Chains A and B, each alone.
Chain A
Amino acid sequence: MIKVEQLNKVFHLKTGDVIGVEDVSFEVDAGEIFGIVGYSGAGKSTLLRCLNLLERPSSGSIYINDTDLLELPQKELREARQSIGMIFQGFYLVSSKTVYENVSFALKAAGVPKQEWKERVTELLRLVGLEDKVDQFPAQLSGGQKQRVSIARALANNPSVLLCDEATSALDPNTTQSILNLLQKINRELGITIVLITHEMEVVKKICDRCAVMEDGRIVEQASTYKIFSQPKNELTQKFIATVLDINLPDKLRKECTGTVVQLKFIDGLASDSVVSDMLQNNQVTGNILHGKVDYIKDVPLGVFIMELKGTQKEVDQAIDYLYKRLKHVEVIQHGTHR
């Protein structure tokens, strides 16, 4: 569907060269929601803008639906862009045009005959839930409504891909959720592949199938969203995960613990399993849960628990072995201080 190979983008400024994107390769399958996360300045927007050539890469190649975008002459590129919708953090609606005119502009750009506009615009506005705002001007709409109009505009020509540049970053949490729901609906019902960039892990957690983490123009890690959340490898990725999945014991509490403190991670549905009670039955230890959290990554549970285990050193070691066999993700945070 989308294939990016060894993409580089260098900005040549008077003050020197600035690297936007460096040696980035990735693929997105048809029907997927692919997320790109990173701090501000990581090169996310530059990368996304290369996907419809709003930005021309310095080198590398971009294939969308098996078409090499960089080979296309101007006119063909414009046609290709009609099948790549794009929405932005700033909405970028035309303030002098009504909602209807903003959406029909995309149809006009694609040369759709005028008599077909009305039906299509109505259909699109119904999809995004704004039928009653046809004749309003953007200034009369809320942020969430503006984003809905821009989504309608982006979908006007039945694109196969939708690019989202921080589409929810300017919105409040409630509106963010409703826009994410809309994007998910578009993905599921219309089968549109979505590439979205964000600095909010929450967004990725909610709707992305896979994601990539960017830093200094490079992709430092990419995997399925669940893998990224449950087993982040890169240090930056771990930092990002911590923003949503943070589970740290208060220092004071930890110092008061005399037993061995372990962190257990329940991955892929194991959260509902009876590992802990089995462990307690099979070993002469007492367990005390200090902290715990179960999060759902796209409906699959991911649980993290911190327990204090008390007993003889030998029994505790055996218990940890047992846990390790069952869970694979056991980490001793603090060794016991007694005996």
Chain B
Amino acid sequence: MERIVEILPELNHAFLETLIMVGISLTIALILGLPIGILLYVTSQNNFLQNKTLKTVFGVIVNLVRSVPFIILMVFLFPVTQILLGSTIGPYAASVSLSVAAIPFYARIVEAAARDIDKGVIEAAIATGASPWLIIKDIILPETKPGLISGLTITAISLIGYSAMAGTIGGGGIGDLAVRYGYYRYDDTVMFTTVIVLVVLVQFIQYLGDYISKAVDKR
């Protein structure tokens, strides 16, 4: 118990770093992954902005990034991070590679959620003479809202896992704390505490995500 109190400031710091990493990359995943996911959907075959070239280009990029294991992606992106932020250490630096991993991850979730919309609903909108932009904004986005939110939940939880990995190679955060104390110094108390913190965090995000997703679902 005393040990926990002892490391509390450090735990606090690590927790904050994890939140920064997850928060930044989740935001960027939302800002970029959402439009890419919608683009993948609307350009798909027989859809209203069908475009094979665009669909293929974005599809291949998304698949490429998604097929690289995160830890390798991170090392691979060190030079880019260095140029962007002038450093490869710390939660902000880690956010770069976390974002790059999260964007295609979320994009695919968005695409899948959009594909769940009944094709007829889109066609009924086309039949009213609505423009593609209006259909995206007023039909596709509201109709996928529950899916977009539960997708964000899944992405956030995956990011917590990734951020722990990122932590071990200089990203900081809870993963870093666990490895430093638990792995190198055999400090079981710290190890346990970090695990519990992570479990609670994940549970909380899942609960919150489910709650909001359900609240906006009118089906």
Contacts and interface: CB of A to CB of B under 8 A. Distances in A.
Interface of A: 52, 54, 78-82, 84-86, 88, 90, 92-97, 105-106, 108-110, 137-139, 150, 153-154, 156-157
Nearest to A97: B142
Given A94-B139, A95-B143, A97-B142, A105 B218 contact: no
B128 interface: yes
Given A92-B118, A92-B120, A96-B218, A52 B143 contact: no
B127 A105 contact: no
Contacts of B121: 92-95
Given A96-B145, A139-B219, A90 B130 contact: no
A86 B127 contact: yes
Given A95-B219, A96-B145, A139-B218, A109 B120 contact: no
A90 B119 CA distance: 11
Contacts of A154: 127-128
Given A92-B123, A92-B124, A96-B142, A79 B129 contact: yes
Given A78-B129, A94-B143, A108-B134, A137 B218 contact: yes
Contacts of A85: 127
A93 B123 CA distance: 11
B203 interface: no
Contacts of A150: 124
Interface string B84-126: 0000000000000000000000000000000000101101111
Max count, chain A CB within 10 A of own CB: residue among B130, B143, B145, B216: B130
A139 B146 CA distance: 15
Contact of B124 (A82, A86, A95, A110): A86
B12 interface: no
B218 A95 contact: yes
B187 interface: no
A32 B124 CA distance: 23
Given A81-B126, A105-B139, 8 more contacts: A54-B127, A79-B129, A88-B123, A92-B121, A92-B124, A96-B142, A96-B143, A96-B219
29 contacts: A54-B123, A78-B130, A81-B127, A81-B129, A88-B120, A88-B124, A92-B123, A92-B124, A93-B121, A94-B143, A95-B121, A95-B143, A96-B142, A96-B145, A96-B216, A96-B219, A97-B142, A108-B130, A109-B131, A109-B134, A110-B129, A137-B218, A138-B218, A139-B218, A139-B219, A154-B127, A154-B128, A156-B128, A157-B128
B130 A105 contact: yes
A178 to B, nearest CB: 21
B10 interface: no
A88 B118 CA distance: 13
B130 to A, nearest CB: 4
B218 A106 contact: no
Contacts of A108: 130, 134, 138
Nearest to A83: B129
Closest 5 pairs (CB-CB, A-B): A109-B130, A81-B129, A92-B124, A82-B129, A92-B120
A228 B150 CA distance: 55
Contacts of A157: 128-129
Interface in B155-200: none
Contacts of A93: 121, 124
B52 to A, nearest CB: 14
